[in-house]
Structure 1
């Protein structure tokens, strides 16, 4: 819808010129329950749709597992195994990994679904490009690694997190505030911004390229100006950025999940 809106605007400006995408396009009007605390716009509806699809896919993929797997089951098992073994167990071990596996698995598949839906025609907006959802998941990750540290170490978690071993005592006046900022403030902030900005920037580039293509072909070239052929280049860049956006969508799901896992590992480690 964002892409459709921009394409329409690009050829219908008051001066007939090119109009690029803007941040306001990520805040569509309310559709359901307008004016109430439960108001839903397109972004919220897409989020609900993705949650339903993720639950449905995971249920269909696990409801009829066979000893001799089909190709679909093999692919599904590969993805599940990659997240469980390659991300969670490799960093946390099986004992601790099993405890936090449900949340970390949810992170990966929810972010993956939210990111990929931005390239689906008719939807064409990644809900993770708005800061609200990444912020909520970053707060969950923040609470999770603090809980993990407290569960494994008790109050010693705070000592290990804030007071580096082997440092002269007078340096703690400088290092302890920095460790607090780095561990308890910077981590959730960077988790939030990394996911949000990557999906926002990628989507804006794609929209810009295809909006430029529409402008060159249907405004410039339609007026007999051969400069409209530049739309071929902007269309090629649009395809390239779409492929890149798909790669970034998968990568960001991996990055968010593995960083959350590593933060737990650092919280429970005896020395870090």
Structure 2
């Protein structure tokens, strides 16, 4: 991302500080552009695979630091997300999906807090749409496998609702479950990654702009902006972790609702 800060010149026009969120392609093949975000996504796959393969390679009874970190990460997703939300014996088959989602999103989010890289992969909406579509297909398939075609009726006709108000409730449930749910699932991740990153970028651009001005007061104000930028940077790092957890948790909730639709 490129920050632009141009001071006003005598007789010239004022250009306010701003940022550009569109990076040029690393290389192009015809109409296909290979971007930095694509490179980071591929890098995340390599990093995650390397870490967990290395962590599980020796498999000692008394784990070392790397094995302990890998087991702790796996157990967190398995027990605190999959088992607690889906429950029973059903959760086991969905642990690989939830485990992959959590660490894939986490690593791609954390990129935004790493100097030089400084770009969360999911600040581009295309990636979040793809993840949401994958989850959408999986939770609907889980519901159909468990309950058959009547799953769609269970999903849009709440139990215990008087039949006279069903014409009002059913369209709302259809829109909520099959349209709004996947949209919000994807946009929540995208919006938080983009907005937090832009706030930090704009603050950095503002610091550069203030330092370029004449006068001690304006230059001194840049220190206050820097303090605010550091605070926002720390908040963004926390949100990066939380959003990986929230996306994975919602996926588990959707799957649980699909396979246990008859009890809702």
**So what's the TM-score if we normalise by structure 1?**
0.90
Inter-partner Cα distance in structure 2 for 1:53 and 1:104: 18
Higher helix share: 1
User: Contact 1:26–1:130 (CA<8 Å) still a contact in 2?
Assistant: no
Q: How does 1:44-59 map to 2 (within 5 A)?
A: 44-59=38-53
Change beyond 3 A, Cα 1:77–1:171: same
Inter-partner Cα distance in structure 1 for 2:6 and 2:115: 20
Local SS of the residue matching 2:263:
coil
User: Contact 1:28–1:43 (CA<8 Å) still a contact in 2?
Assistant: no
Matched with 1:244 is: 235
Matched with 2:30 is: 35
Inter-partner Cα distance in structure 2 for 1:227 and 1:128: 35
Shift of 1:41: 1.6
| 1:101-149 CA distance string (max 9 Å, x none) | 2111111011001100011111111110111011111011111111111
Matched with 1:214 is: 208
Inter-partner Cα distance in structure 1 for 2:71 and 2:28: 40
Matched with 1:108 is: 102
Matched with 2:132 is: 138
Matched with 1:194 is: 188
Matched with 2:225 is: 234
Local SS of the residue matching 1:33:
strand
- Please, which of 120, 138, 142 is the counterpart of residue 126 of structure 1? 120
- Please, which of 240, 244, 248 is the counterpart of residue 257 of structure 1? 248
5+ long unaligned stretches in structure 1: none
The count of aligned residue pairs is 260
User: Contact 2:139–2:258 (CA<8 Å) still a contact in 1?
Assistant: yes
CA RMSD of aligned residues (A): 1.8
Shift of 1:256: 0.2
Local SS of the residue matching 1:262:
helix
Q: How does 1:174-189 map to 2 (within 5 A)?
A: 174-189=168-183
5+ long unaligned stretches in structure 2: none
Matched with 1:271 is: 263
Higher strand share: 2
